[in-house]
Amino acid sequence: MKNARVIFAGTPEFARASLAALVDSGVTPILVLTQPDRPSGRGKRVTASPVKRYAEEHDIAVMQPRTLRDAEVQAELAALKPDAMIVAAYGLILPQDVLDIPAQGCINVHASLLPRWRGAAPVQAAILAGDKSTGISLMAMTAGLDCGPVYLSESLSIADDETAGSLHDRLASLGGELLAANLDDILEQRIVPVAQDEAATCYAGKVQKQDAQLDWTRGADELQRRVRAYNPVPGAFFFASSEDTNDSEPLRIKCWRAERVAGAAARPGTVLSSDQQGVVVACGADALSLLELQLPGKRRIAAREFSDQLDLTGRVLG
């Protein structure tokens, strides 16, 4: 559809990739919706979203409502008479009154092969589950959570050492490419969306910080996936007694890289060895070698440097 009037709604880097792909393909949105600026980083400095920064750099109008349920906001959107709204990781619920505004409806760029991993954290969920592949789905939005019919999907493989960060970046690029290549066919109704198979549905809930704590009673394979799934956010972690310091509180140590190894039978959480090869911890099955760690307030370091600073051998981790 030539000269389509498109509104784009998105917030994080994943969404910025789709917005950039649209602009590069010659489709400049008439408006960008993104979440309000928020405190970010260690200094809690108020920061604009990646989508807002991109829009401002390209002279695209930006609107940052706190909710889309506001009648005045809905009236402003309706007055633009959009042909379509593209939504990618926006972070706000689109009520039915908003979904009904665009003439051709709302199209969602979702980071999974729907109906697998509907919800807020499909990238992490795919790694945690040990999926061998995931992908991008372009979906016609309905009022339910990621349950609308799918226009098309494209898959990519998940490497054995893939982190959520690297998978996110590959999916973001794929999402932008898929959207830009197929938007015209979608708007011209040359691609007909297909209903999802409800029997195959599973959900990826929002990641909470406590989800990233390593439970040593689990198998080493599962824990290695947990380390990968929560890299870079929020970061897998465990607790160790602080007997080498003057602090009575246990140390909250983050683990950024790990691998499964054979281990002697021992109580889960027992540190079997701590040397240049890694900090090896007994698990419910096998053992996990922690290869890159981070003490509170410090930088990430390799296991050999960590072991020089803190020898955990024999301790039972929490």
Residue 39, preceding bond cis, omega within 30 degrees?
Answer: no
Model confidence at 245: pLDDT above 70: no
Structure tokens, 175: 């999402």
What value does the mean pLDDT take over residues 211-231?
98
**pLDDT score recorded for residue 40:** 82
Give the position of tokens 């665009």. 102
The DSSP H or E segment spanning 174 is: helix 164-187
Measured between alpha carbons, how far is 105 from 99 in angstroms, rounded to an integer?
6
**pLDDT score recorded for residue 277:** 82
Buried b or exposed e, range 121-147, using 16+ CB within 10 angstroms: bbbbbbbbbebeebbbbbbbbbeeebb
**What's the fold here for domain 6-204?**
Rossmann fold (3.40.50)
Structure tokens, 305: 């440097």
2 close to 187: Cβ distance less than 8 angstroms: no
**pLDDT score recorded for residue 1:** 67
Provide the mean pLDDT of the chain. 95
How sure is the predictor about 300, in pLDDT bands with cuts at 50, 70 and 90? very high
| Global pTM value | 0.94
Question: Between 40 and 213, whose confidence is greater?
Answer: 213
**pLDDT score recorded for residue 191:** 98
**pLDDT score recorded for residue 242:** 67
Structure tokens, 206: 């929002």
> Across-strand partners of 10?
88
Structure tokens, 272: 């079997």
291 close to 259: Cβ distance less than 8 angstroms: yes
Model confidence at 19: pLDDT above 90: yes
What value does the mean pLDDT take over residues 191-197?
98
How sure is the predictor about 275, in pLDDT bands with cuts at 50, 70 and 90? confident
Tens digits of residue pLDDT in 111-164: 999 999 999 999 999 999 999 999 999 999 999 999 999 999 999 999 999 999
Measured between alpha carbons, how far is 274 from 311 in angstroms, rounded to an integer?
6
**pLDDT score recorded for residue 266:** 93
292 close to 255: Cβ distance less than 8 angstroms: yes
- Tell me the residue type at 299: R
107 close to 85: Cβ distance less than 8 angstroms: yes
Query: Hey, which CATH number is domain 209-309, 2.40.128.20, 3.10.20.30, 3.10.25.10, 3.90.180.10?
Result: 3.10.25.10
14 close to 89: Cβ distance less than 8 angstroms: yes
Residues contacting 299, CB < 8 A, separation 6+? none
Q: How far is CA 79 from the centre of its chain?
A: 33
Measured between alpha carbons, how far is 258 from 29 in angstroms, rounded to an integer?
43
Model confidence at 247: pLDDT above 70: no
What value does the mean pLDDT take over residues 63-67?
98
Model confidence at 41: pLDDT above 80: no
Question: Between 31 and 45, whose confidence is greater?
Answer: 31
**pLDDT score recorded for residue 262:** 87
Residue 91 DSSP symbol: -
Measured between alpha carbons, how far is 102 from 224 in angstroms, rounded to an integer?
44
147 close to 202: Cβ distance less than 8 angstroms: no
Q: What is the residue extent of each domain of the chain?
A: 6-204, 209-309
- Tell me the residue type at 30: I
Structure tokens, 5: 């009037």
| % the chain with pLDDT above 90 | 90
The DSSP H or E segment spanning 282 is: strand 278-282
Residue 234, preceding bond cis, omega within 30 degrees?
Answer: yes
